[in-house]
Amino acid sequence: MGIKDIAEDFAALCKAGQHEEAGARYWAEEVVSREAMEGPMAEMRGVAAVREKSAWWFANHEVHSATTEGPFVHGDQFALRFEMDVTAKQTGQRLQMAEIGLYTVKDGKVVEERFFY
Amino acid sequence: MGIKDIAEDFAALCKAGQHEEAGARYWAEEVVSREAMEGPMAEMRGVAAVREKSAWWFANHEVHSATTEGPFVHGDQFALRFEMDVTAKQTGQRLQMAEIGLYTVKDGKVVEERFFY
- B46-83: per-residue pLDDT in tens? 999 999 999 999 999 999 999 999 999 999 999 999 99
Q: Given A72, A77, A117, which is nearest B72 (Cβ)?
A: A117
Burial code of A96-105, b = ≥16 C-beta within 10 A, e = fewer? eebbbbbbbb
Residues A65, A71: contact at Cβ < 8 Å?
no
Q: How many CA atoms lie within 13 A of B97 on its CB side?
A: 23
State how far residue B112 is from chain A, nearest Cα, in angstroms: 14
Q: Do B116 and A69 touch (CB under 8 A)?
A: no
pLDDT tens for residues B84-117?
999 999 999 999 999 999 999 999 999 999 999 9
For residue range A56-68, what is the model confidence (pLDDT) as tens digits? 999 999 999 999 9
- Searching chain A, which residue's CA lies closest to the CA of residue B113? A74
List, for residues A9-57, the tens digit of each pLDDT value: 999 999 999 999 999 999 999 999 999 998 888 999 999 999 999 999 9
* B34 contacts A72? CB cut-off 8 A: no
Residues of chain A in contact with residue B77, where contact means CB-CB under 8 angstroms, are 116
Residue of B nearest to A80 (CA): B100
Closest residue of chain A to B75, computed from CA coordinates: A36
Residue B43: list chain A partners with CB under 8 A: none
Question: Which chain B positions have a beta carbon within 8 Å of A99's beta carbon?
Answer: 72
ipTM of the complex: 0.90
What is the set of domains in chain B, with CATH numbers? 3-116 (3.10.450.50)
The pTM of this model reads 0.94
Strand order in the sheet with B94-106: B43-45, B27-34, B109-116, B94-106, B77-88, B61-74
